[in-house]
Structure 1
Amino acid sequence: MKRIILLVLATSFSIISGLAFAYPTKPITIIVPQAPGGTNDIVGRVVAQRLGEQMKASVIVENKPGAGGNIGTQYVANGSKDGYTLLMTISSAQAINPALYKNPGFDPVNDFIPLAMIGSVPNVLVVNPNFPAKNLDEFLKLVKSKPPETYQYASAGNGTLNHLLGEMLNQSYGISLQHIPYKGVAPALNDLLGGQVQIAFASLPSVLQYINSQKLIALGVSSPKRSPILPDVPSISEKVPGFSGSLWIGLFAPKGTPKPVVDKLQKEMQLTLANPELREKLQASGVELVNMTPTEFAKQLQDDIARWAKIVKTSGASLD
Structure 2
Amino acid sequence: MKNLPSPFRWLSLIAMLWAMPHLAIAQNWPTKPVRLVASFPPGTPGDVIARLIQPALQTVWSQPVIVENKPGAGGNLAAGEVAQSKDEHTLLVGPDTVLTINPHLYKRLGFDLRTSLKPVTYFASFNQVLVCNPATEIVSLQKFSQLPASRTYASGGAGTPSHMTMEMLQSTLGTKLTHVPYRGPGPAALDIMGGNVDCGFIVASVVLPHIQSGRLRAIAVSGKERSALLPAVPTVAESGHPGFDATFFETLMAPAGLPAPVVERIQRDVRTALQTTAIRSRLAEMDLRVEANSSQDALSRSREDFAKWGTIAQKTKLQLD
TM over 0.5: yes
User: Counterpart of 1:273?
Assistant: 274
Cα distance between partner residues in 2 of 1:189 and 1:56: 39
Does the residue aligned with 1:110 lie in a helix, a strand or coil? Answer: helix
Q: Does 1:141 align with 2:147?
A: no
Q: Is the 8 A contact 1:172 1:240 kept in 2?
A: no
Native 8 Å contact 1:204 1:285 kept in 2: yes
The one-letter amino acid paired with 1:112 is L
- Is contact 1:150-1:178 (8 Å) kept? yes
Q: Which ranges of structure 2 fall in alignment gaps of 5 or more residues?
A: 1-16
Q: What's the counterpart of residue 6 of structure 2?
A: none
Contact 1:37–1:185 under 8 Å retained in 2 = no
Cα-to-partner distance string for 1:7-56 (whole Å, 9 max, x where unaligned): xxx9xx97x87664443343211011122332322333223344334434
CA shift digits 1:48-74 (9 cap, x unpaired): 344334434322211111211111101
Give distance in 2, aligned partners of 1:17 and 1:245: 38
Q: Provide the C-alpha distance between the structure 2 equivalents of 1:197 and 1:63, rounded to a whole number of angstroms.
A: 27
Q: Which has the higher contact order (CA 8 A, sep 6+)?
A: 1
Partner residue of 2:192? 192
Question: TM-score normalised to the size of structure 1?
Answer: 0.86
Whole-Å separation in 2 of the counterparts to 1:52 and 1:212: 36
| Residue matched to 1:314 | 315
CA gap of 1:49–1:202, structure 2 versus 1, over 3 A, is farther
2:92 is aligned with 1:87? yes
* Match in the other structure for 1:122: 127
| Equivalent position of 2:262 in the other structure | 261
Moved over 4 A (4+): 16-20
Kept after mapping to 1: 8 A contact 2:120/2:267: yes
Query: 1:40 is matched with which residue?
Result: 46
Aligned equivalents of 1:179, 1:240: Cα separation in 2: 24
Distance in 1 (CA, whole Å) between partners of 2:24 and 2:167 is 51
CA distance in 2, matches of 1:293, 1:17: 18
Instruction: Give the Cα–Cα distance (whole angstroms) in 2 for the partners of residues 116 and 142 of structure 1.
Output: 36
Question: Equivalent residue for 2:216?
Answer: 216
**Is 1:26 the equivalent of 2:32?**
yes
SS at match of 1:162: helix
The reply to whether residue 57 of structure 1 matches residue 59 of structure 2 is: no
Q: Which residue of 2 aligns with 1:108?
A: 113
User: Counterpart of 1:174 in structure 2: which amino acid?
Assistant: G
**Range with greater deviation from structure 2 (240-249 or 294-303):** 240-249
TM-score, normalization by structure 2? 0.85
Give 1:228 shift: 1.3
User: What percent identity do the matched residue pairs reach?
Assistant: 34
Q: Measured at CA, do residues 274 and 74 of structure 1 come closer, stay the same or move farther in structure 2, by a change above 3 Å?
A: same
| CA distance in 1 between partners of 2:259 and 2:174 (Å) | 50
AA aligned opposite 1:130: A
- Secondary structure in 2 matching 1:318: coil
CA RMSD of aligned residues (A): 2.3
Q: Is the 8 A contact 1:70 1:105 kept in 2?
A: no
- Summarize deviations over 1:75-121 as a string: whole Å, max 9, x none: 00111332x21011212222101011112444333222322111210
- The number of residues matched between the two structures is 302
- Paired residues of 2:119 and 2:251 also in contact (CA < 8 A): yes
